[in-house]
């Protein structure tokens, strides 16, 4: 299939296929838009079923980074990369260095960082061969910041939908208890929420049970739990024609990227009376933190102020969506595009 015919192709500026047979590397770098600044977004390593699946994923992720950075008021564009392979079997230093060299050749058009399958130790390896890597040891693990932003988004959703300023006693189903999901559970537990969790790794779910008084269910049962909030914190595309009818929650707010399988699923959720917190709005905390490496300055106090500010940013999107009776994902997309178009107009003036 021609990449220009892909349903997720959104006039991306560049899509690069990176191949190093000696290192066993097959990667794709997608640069969506650099109007507001150099493209920035993490590198994901995953065992995709097909090349087409990898292309679709990287295109969606790159576009989401453009919107995330725009709405977070970061002077950055959107980009993303994927390495095709099993991170538990295929990842090694030679492969990572080979990928970093491709990033280096772009000369700063794209900055890469960690994502699913690529951790902070891997990012340090990438930095050996590229100057365009962020999310290093200097800014630390972005997971707590991503999770904190997600928590603020959940608070905003509870305020808007339920009229409550606290989460005490609310039931939350958390899908995915990895690096970010674990912190989301921690913040929710500390706020008095009751947790139901699911993870493909049994040990991750067990951790939540032992540390946050959670109840664990099998992954396929997490959607239909009788809860107030469903919080997706694993992989994307999980809100679709099969799963949305199962939802009993009145709020969907989680840290996973690209939760909607297709944009139209935002309207299905809206029509079902469920309040959806757009993922790239509330999961921007990690980016707000890690981008300090790009700008050459880092103040954790300022970062936390901006992360907690995601509460107000999310509330504003809910308010506009309510006033216009539109799905929240459509409102957020429009606001992000407006910021990017304003940047283009400024460059032309």
Catalytic residues: 80
Alpha-helical runs (H) found in 128-167: 143-162
Tell me how far apart the alpha carbons of residues 41 and 144 are, in angstroms, rounded to a whole number: 17
- Residue 134 in contact with residue 291, Cβ under 8 Å? yes
Positive/negative CA dihedral, 222, 284, 318, 168: positive
C-alpha distance from residue 222 to each of 70, 189, 255 (Å): 32, 18, 16
DSSP three-state, residue 83: strand
Q: Are strands 25-33 and 14-20 parallel, antiparallel or unpaired?
A: antiparallel
Start-to-end CA distance of the chain, whole Å, equals 39
Q: How many CA atoms, within 13 angstroms, populate the side-chain half-sphere of residue 142? A: 31
- Residue 151 in contact with residue 231, Cβ under 8 Å? no
The residue among 205, 190, 177 whose CA lies nearest residue 151 is: 190
Tell me how far apart the alpha carbons of residues 60 and 257 are, in angstroms, rounded to a whole number: 9
Tell me how far apart the alpha carbons of residues 189 and 206 are, in angstroms, rounded to a whole number: 15
Alpha-helical runs (H) found in 46-132: 51-71, 93-105, 120-126
Tell me how far apart the alpha carbons of residues 299 and 27 are, in angstroms, rounded to a whole number: 33
Tell me how far apart the alpha carbons of residues 57 and 74 are, in angstroms, rounded to a whole number: 23
**φ/ψ (deg, to 5) at 72:** -85, 5
Tell me how far apart the alpha carbons of residues 150 and 197 are, in angstroms, rounded to a whole number: 16
């Amino acid at each position: 299939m021609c990449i220009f015919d892909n349903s997720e192709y959104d006039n991306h500026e560049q899509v690069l296929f990176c191949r190093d047979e000696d290192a066993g590397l097959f990667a794709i770098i997608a640069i969506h838009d650099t109007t507001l600044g150099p493209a920035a977004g993490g590198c994901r390593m995953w065992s995709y079923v097909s090349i087409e699946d990898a292309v679709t994923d990287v295109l969606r992720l790159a576009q989401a980074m453009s919107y995330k950075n725009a709405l977070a008021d970061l002077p950055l564009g959107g980009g993303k990369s994927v390495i095709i392979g099993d991170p538990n079997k295929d990842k090694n230093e030679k492969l990572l260095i080979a990928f970093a060299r491709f990033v280096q050749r772009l000369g700063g058009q794209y900055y890469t960082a960690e994502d699913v399958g690529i951790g902070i130790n891997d990012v340090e390896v990438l930095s050996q061969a590229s100057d365009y890597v962020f999310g290093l040891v200097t800014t630390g693990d972005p997971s707590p910041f991503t999770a904190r932003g997600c928590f603020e988004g959940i608070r905003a959703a509870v305020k808007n939908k339920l009229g409550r300023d606290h989460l005490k006693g609310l039931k939350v189903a958390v899908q995915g208890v990895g690096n970010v999901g674990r912190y989301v559970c921690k913040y929710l537990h500390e706020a008095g929420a009751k947790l139901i969790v699911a993870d493909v790794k049994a040990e991750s779910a067990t951790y939540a049970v032992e540390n946050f008084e959670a109840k664990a269910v099998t992954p396929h049962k997490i959607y239909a739990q009788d809860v107030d909030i469903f919080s997706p914190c694993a992989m994307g595309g999980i809100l679709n024609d099969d799963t949305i009818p199962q939802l009993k929650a009145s709020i969907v707010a989680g840290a996973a990227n690209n939760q909607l399988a297709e944009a139209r699923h935002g309207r299905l959720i809206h029509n079902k009376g469920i309040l959806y917190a757009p993922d790239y709005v509330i999961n921007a905390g990690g980016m707000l933190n890690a981008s300090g490496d790009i700008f050459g300055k880092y103040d954790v106090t300022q970062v936390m102020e901006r992360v907690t500010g995601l509460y107000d940013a999310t509330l504003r999107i809910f308010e506009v969506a309510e006033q216009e009776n539109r799905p929240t994902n459509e409102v957020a997309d429009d606001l992000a595009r407006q910021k990017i178009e304003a940047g283009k107009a400024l460059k032309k003036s």
